[in-house]
Amino acid sequence: MIRFENLSKSFWLRGEQKVIIDQLDTTLPTGKSLALMGGNGAGKSTLLSIIAGVMPPDSGRIVSDGTISWPVGLTGSLHPQMTGAQNTRFVARIYGADTENLIEFVKDFSELGVHFDNPVRTYSTGMRSRLAFGMSMGIKFDTYLIDETTAVGDASFFHKSRAVFHERVKDASAIMVSHQTRALRNFCNSGIVLSNGKLEYFEDLEEAIDRHNEIMGVPSGG
């Protein structure tokens, strides 16, 4: 369970205060894979960062009765001078996971081969995404936060990522941000739409997609 209690967040841009999150007061349902949609600058990644605890709100709070992952897909979660293996060991220690089991899982899942022992600064964007997604999926959380990553690579890797993700969320929840509707449809079953600092929840993912399209002024069904 994740509950927002009078949650607000704003930033100063060019001398003007822009409200990103406006007094949210709602509870996200448990056991759902939620697609978080909104236009550019709506605050999707900001909201994920606040949920993860890596960014403080201006006011209000978030209450959760379970463990929450870091926002997978944010490149700042990886140390560029450390190897993929070293990053994985560090995460295992932070979250109290079995180091060797996590190393084995991530190395196999990410398909990085010899690059797993190279510094992350030498990785492509896709390789970083594979590493971060693998580390997240290798640890059991009650809620997974996924930001613009999902499966990067060929069709077989996409299907493997989707299978692992669905296996994890059988007993967990997820919140995913992606501009790719196909990815949202493959990974999510419900949706939340962020617009003008407010959240709307839709039990049916297609209704959420239609609402997002309506706000964006584009035809539905895309």
CATH number at residue 192: 3.40.50.300
Do both 153 and 222 map to the same domain? yes
Asked which of 97, 124, 140 is the last residue of a domain, the reply is 140
Per-residue pLDDT band for 182 (boundaries 50, 70, 90) equals confident
Residue 74 has pLDDT above 70, yes or no: no
Residue 184 in tokens: 């949202």
Q: Strands of 2-13's sheet, edge to edge?
A: 16-28, 2-13, 59-64
Query: Which of these three, 140, 161, 176, is where a domain ends?
Result: 140
Same domain? For 61 and 155 the reply is yes
pLDDT score recorded for residue 150: 52
Q: 85-89, 124-128, 143-147, 157-161: which has the minimum mean pLDDT?
A: 157-161
Instruction: Read off the amino acid at residue 103.
Output: I
Does any domain span residue 61? yes
Output the pLDDT for position 149.
55
Instruction: Choose between 26 and 77: higher pLDDT.
Output: 26
Q: Is the pLDDT of residue 58 over 80?
A: yes
In a domain, 73, yes or no: no
Mean pLDDT value across residues 46-58: 94
Are residues 83 and 132 both part of a single domain?
Answer: yes
Residues 213 and 196 placed together within one structural domain of the fold: yes
Residue 101 has pLDDT above 60, yes or no: yes
Count of domains observed in the chain: 2
pLDDT given for residue 153 in this prediction: 62
- Between residues 179 and 7, which one has the greater pLDDT? 7
Q: Is the pLDDT of residue 73 over 90?
A: no
Q: Which structural domain, as residue segments, surrounds residue 136?
A: 78-140
Determine the Cα–Cα distance for residues 78 and 132; give it in Å rounded to an integer.
7
Tell me: do 63 and 146 sit in the same domain: yes
Same domain assignment for residues 33 and 135: no
- Whether residue 35 lies inside any domain: the answer is yes
3 state SS of 43: coil
Are 175 and 211 in a shared domain?
yes
- Quickly state the pLDDT bin for 152 (edges 50, 70, 90): low
Considering the chain, what is the average pLDDT of its residues?
90
Is 213 domain-assigned? yes
What's the pLDDT at 196? 94
pLDDT at 218: 84
**Structural domain includes residue 207:** yes
221 and 159 together in one domain: yes
Q: Is residue 72 part of a domain?
A: no
Query: Are both 136 and 146 inside the same structural domain?
Result: no
* 116 in the same domain as 49: no
> What is the per-residue pLDDT for 212?
96
Strands, E, within 39-180: which ranges?
59-64, 68-72, 143-147, 173-177
Which of 56, 23, 20, 1 is CA-nearest to residue 175?
1
Same domain, 105 and 153: no
Say yes or no: 54 and 147 in one domain: yes
Asked which of 104, 122, 140 is the last residue of a domain, the reply is: 140
User: Is 14 within the bounds of a domain?
Assistant: yes
Q: Report yes or no: 136 and 144 within 8 Å, Cβ to Cβ.
A: yes
Kindly state the average pLDDT of the residues 145-169.
78
